[in-house]
Amino acid sequence: MNIDPNKVPVKDVYKLLISTVTPRPIAWVSSMDDQGIVNLAPFSFFNVVSVNPPVLGFSPLLDGTGKSKDTLNNIRNTKEFVVNVVSHQVADAMNQTSAPFEHHVDELQQAGLTAMPSYLVKPPSVQEAMVHYECRLHDVISFGNDPMAGNLILGQICHIHVNDELKDGDRINVGKLDTVGRMEGSYYSTTRDRFAIDRPTLD
């Protein structure tokens, strides 16, 4: 099967991408507008893009009409946000915050979550999440104004908060962190089934 993405409907390209680029980590992003209204939403087009400086990137898509989401609007205006890491224990709450609430609705309250003051940025962190990355906007790269076009938000990490119970010597106990990934449709995956492969050397 060979596919020219320019000759098939956008929804078909979307379905192909989310079914094959898997699992995708989830950025649970808390942001705030210039009036202080907090927004919380999950995004699975997300990853680490730099270590020095430390930068995270995630890409909210425009909706089916070409309208931008509250998260993108907030970050463009205030230049700050928090990426909360999604563990299995908060997966249901994360899913609740993906609903298309009106701008003024508090998603944290709707999902029964607790807003925790951040250290260096104004948007709060999700207390129930075990890791929080406070970020300041580095750049937004827009890929167009058409429906489902992406806007890659790059945020430089200015503060990291990790739950103490995750500490395992000088490492993070990834078993306790128990993150989930996004699959296709309504499906998610866990990091519970892991295997090791040693990196080859040139010796």
Contact criterion met (CB below 8 Å) for 140 and 128: no
Q: What does residue 176 show for φ and ψ, rounded to 5 degrees?
A: -70, -35
Other CB atoms within 10 A of residue 92 CB: 10
The whole-model pTM stands at 0.95
Which of 1.10.3720.10, 3.40.50.720, 3.20.20.140, 2.30.110.10 is the CATH number of 10-184?
2.30.110.10
Per-residue pLDDT of 25-83, as tens digits, reads 999 999 999 999 999 999 999 999 999 999 999 999 999 899 999 999 999 999 999 99
Q: Is the dihedral of CA 138, 124, 32, 132 positive or negative?
A: positive
Residue 88 binned pLDDT confidence (cut-offs 50, 70, 90):
very high
Residue 103 binned pLDDT confidence (cut-offs 50, 70, 90):
confident
Cis peptide bond prior to 53, omega within 30° of 0: yes
